[in-house]
Amino acid sequence: DAAAPSTIEEYYDIQDFTFQYSGYELAQSYPSGEEGGIFFSMDATEGMQLLVLKFTVSNTSSADQTLDMLEHDAKFRISVNGETGENALSTMLLNDLQAYKDVIPAGSSVELVSIVEVPQSTAIETIDFVLRGAEGSAVINLQ
């Protein structure tokens, strides 16, 4: 068996970008209302909270590049505390990791998110990020 890819960019064969997990937040809604100009925000359903996984995506090349995640048919599942994974929610957020398409200038980075609902009472111990695609799936242990 080929060695399992250890990064999002390896798994989806994305050139010129690196994806670095930068932490999570638990929230009732995302983004929270303080940020101006929000076109879309998500609210957790009753008894649930949003688990927002954050990734810093950097353009490592010397030219502006378009990152088009839909082109890579990227699909994610998120497994918390070893439980069966849930599909990452499809959102209208402009920074949704699964649907992101924009130009990232040379040498700069953006924060993208992947979101799933978990019960209110959940204490986060481990998070596994499951990458899915034509080649099957690969698991990245985030924490």
Per-residue pLDDT of 50-84, as tens digits, reads 999 999 999 999 999 999 999 999 999 999 999 98
Asked if pLDDT for residue 1 goes beyond 50, the answer is no
Whole-prediction pTM: 0.92
Q: Identify the band that residue 41 occupies on the pLDDT scale cut at 50, 70 and 90.
A: confident
Asked if pLDDT for residue 119 goes beyond 50, the answer is yes
Q: Do 51 and 93 form a contact (C-beta atoms < 8 A)?
A: no
pLDDT score at 38:
58
Judge residue 30's burial from the number of C-beta atoms within 10 Å of its C-beta, 0-12 exposed, 13-18 middle, 19 or more buried: buried
Comparing CA positions, the residue from 72, 51, 52 lying closest to residue 131 is 72
pLDDT score at 80:
97
